[in-house]
Amino acid sequence: MIEMLVVLTVLLLLIMLSVTSLVRARARGRDVQCRNNLRNLQVAVMNHLFENGRLPYARSFEGYDPTYKPDFWYERNGWIAWRGWTNHQDDSSDWSVRRPGKPDLWWGEIGRTSITGLNSALWPHTGRNIRMYLCPAFGQSSVMGSMAPDGTILNRGNPPLRSYGMNPLIGGIGLMDFGRTNASRRLLFADLHTHAVHQAPARSGAGMVRICRHGLLENIPSAPGSYYVSTSNALFGYVEPCSYDAVLTGIADPEADPPGAYPVESVGLYHGVREINGVMHPVGHAIFIDGHIESLTWWQTTNACSGNW
Query: What are the tens digits of pLDDT across the range 9-40?
Result: 666 666 665 555 555 667 788 899 999 999 99
pLDDT tens-digit series, residues 39-74? 999 999 999 999 999 999 887 776 667 777 666 667
Half-sphere exposure of 137 (CA within 13 A, CB side): 28
Q: What is the pLDDT of residues 208-219, one digit of tens each?
A: 344 445 577 775
Per-residue pLDDT, 202: 45
Q: Could you tell me the residue ranges of all domains in the chain?
A: 2-54+131-306
pLDDT at 44: 97
Query: Strand pairing partners for 252?
Result: 263
Alpha-carbon span 53 to 47, nearest angstrom? 10
Share of the chain above pLDDT 70, in %: 55
Greater model confidence, 5 or 189:
189
Rounded distance between C-alpha atoms, residue 256 and residue 260, angstroms: 6
Phi, psi (degrees; rounded to nearest 5) at 201 = -70, 145
233-270 burial by CB neighbour count: b if 16+ within 10 A, else e?
A: eeeebbebbbbbbbbbbbeebeebeeeeebbbbbbbbb
Mapping DSSP onto H, E and C, the string for the chain reads CHHHHHHHHHHHHHHHHHHHHHHHHHHHHHHHHHHHHHHHHHHHHHHHHHHHCECCECCCEEEECCCCCCCCEEEECECCCCECCCCCCCCCCCHHHCCCCECCCCEHHHHHHHHHCCCCCCHHHCCCCHHHHCCHHHHHHHCCCCECCCCCECCCCCCECCCEEECCCCCCCEHHHHCCCCCCCCEEEEECCCCCCCCEECCCCCCEECCCCCCCCCCCCCCCCCCCCCCCCCCCCCCCCCCCCCECCCCECCCCCCCCCCECCCCCCCCCEEEECCEEEECEEEEECCCCEEEECHHHCCCHHHCCC
Q: Note the pLDDT of residue 134.
A: 94
